[in-house]
C-alpha cells in the first residue's frame, strides 16, 4: 500500500526504535506501527509475519512531518493472503484521521513492486526537494543586516561532514549539499533572538547541523554566518516535493514482486540519505 503520511507528534519515531544499551523502547510508538495497525484493523491488509515501511527519507523522532506528507510504501511480509483489499483503504484512512495516533495517511492506494510508486521512491532518493520551518535561537538579537545576510533564493552550496550524532553508525565523509532558499522571520516578543528559518534544500541536507554548525563540520552554517552561537529548537518538514502519483500501480493488483529498493537502514526503512 502506498500513500503519504503526516506526523504531528514529536515523540513518534518513523519505525520502531529500541535502545539496545538501556534495553528499552524510545519514543511513543512509530509511524510504521500506526499505519500498519490501521490497515490491518480495516481489513485492507491481511495479517502477516511483520511489516516493512519504505519511505522517501525519514525525519528525526522530534521532527514533525506536515503539509501533504512524506511518500511511503508499506509492505506486509509473509502475509496470510497475498492481496490487498482496496475497498477498505478509505476505512483505514478515516480511522487514521479520526483517531488520536499522532500520524495519519493521505491518498492510500494499492501498489506493487512492478508499479510506479517504488520506482518513484528510488528516483526521489537524490532528486527530491524538501521544505522546512526551523525555530532557531541566537545568542544575540538579529540585526536587519543579518536578516538580509540569511536571505537567499538562488541556492548556496555547503559542505557537510557526517554529523557527530550519527557518526557511530555512518562512515565519516564530507558531502556537498545545496540550500536552495533561506528566509528568516523574527519571532515577535523575543527581542530578535528567536526566529523561524523558512528553508528549501536538496536531498540529504542535515538541517539541524546547518543551523548550529556541528562544531565546524558544516560550512557555512547559520552559526558561522552570524559569527555566534545559534541553535535549532524545533524543526518541521513542511513539504517533500517529488513525483509520487503511482500511475500504473493498480495494474498489478497489489501482488508482491521482486523489485529491490536500496534501503538506508538506521533503525527503519528509508530510501537514501535523507537527513531531517
Summarize pLDDT for 18-33 with one digit per residue, the tens.
988 888 999 999 999 9
- Lowest-pLDDT choice from 12-26, 84-98, 141-155: 12-26
Give the residue from 70, 117, 108 showing the smallest Cα distance to 89: 108
Residue 252: DSSP 8-state: G
pLDDT cut 90: percent of the chain above it? 78
CB 90, CB 21: distance < 8 Å? no
Residue 107: DSSP 8-state: E
Banded model confidence at residue 245, pLDDT cuts 50, 70, 90: confident
List, for residues 46-89, the tens digit of each pLDDT value.
999 999 999 999 999 999 999 999 999 999 999 998 889 999 99
Q: What is the pTM of this model?
A: 0.88
Is 265 catalytic? The answer is no
**What pLDDT sits at residue 248?**
58
- Which one of the listed residues 37, 60, 245, 274 is annotated catalytic? 60
Instruction: Say if residue 120 is exposed, middle or buried (CB neighbours under 10 Å; 0-12, 13-18, 19+).
Output: buried
**What pLDDT sits at residue 275?**
54
What span, in angstroms and rounded, lies between the C-alpha atoms of 269 and 2? 14
Location of C-alpha cell 499522532: 102
Residue 229: DSSP 8-state: -
Amino acid at each position: 500500500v502506498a500513500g503519504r503520511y503526516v506526523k504531528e507528534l514529536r515523540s513518534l519515531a518513523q519505525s520502531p526504535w529500541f535502545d539496545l544499551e538501556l534495553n528499552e523502547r524510545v519514543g511513543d510508538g512509530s509511524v510504521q506501527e500506526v499505519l500498519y495497525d490501521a490497515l490491518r484493523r480495516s481489513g485492507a491488509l491481511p495479517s502477516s509475519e511483520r511489516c516493512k515501511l519504505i519511505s522517501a527519507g525519514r525525519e528525526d523522532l522530534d521532527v514533525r512531518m506536515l503539509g501533504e506528507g512524506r511518500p511511503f510504501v508499506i509492505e506486509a511480509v509473509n502475509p496470510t493472503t497475498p492481496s490487498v483489499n482496496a475497498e477498505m483503504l478509505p476505512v483505514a484512512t478515516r480511522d487514521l484521521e479520526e483517531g488520536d495516533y499522532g500520524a495519519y495517511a493521505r491518498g492510500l492506494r494499492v501498489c506493487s513492486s512492478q508499479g510506479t510508486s517504488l520506482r518513484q521512491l528510488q528516483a526521489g532518493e537524490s532528486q527530491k526537494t524538501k521544505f522546512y520551518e526551523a525555530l532557531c535561537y541566537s545568542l544575540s538579537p538579529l540585526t536587519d543586516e543579518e536578516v538580509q545576510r540569511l536571505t537567499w533564493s538562488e541556492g548556496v552550496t555547503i559542505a557537510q561532514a557526517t554529523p557527530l550524532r550519527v557518526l557511530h553508525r555512518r562512515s565519516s565523509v564530507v558531502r556537498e549539499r545545496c540550500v536552495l532558499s533561506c528566509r528568516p522571520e523574527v519571532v515577535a516578543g523575543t527581542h530578535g533572538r528567536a526566529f523561524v528559518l523558512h528553508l528549501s534544500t536538496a536531498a540529504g541536507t542535515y538541517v539541524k547541523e546547518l543551523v548550529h554548525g556541528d562544531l565546524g563540520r558544516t560550512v557555512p552554517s547559520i552559526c558561522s554566518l552570524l559569527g555566534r552561537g545559534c541553535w535549532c529548537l524545533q524543526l518541521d518538514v513542511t513539504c517533500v516535493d517529488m513525483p509520487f502519483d503511482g500511475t500504473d500501480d493498480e495494474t498489478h493488483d497489489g501482488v508482491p514482486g521482486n523489485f529491490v529498493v536500496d534501503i538506508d537502514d538506521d533503525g527503519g526503512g528509508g530510501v537514501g540519505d535523507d537527513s531531517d
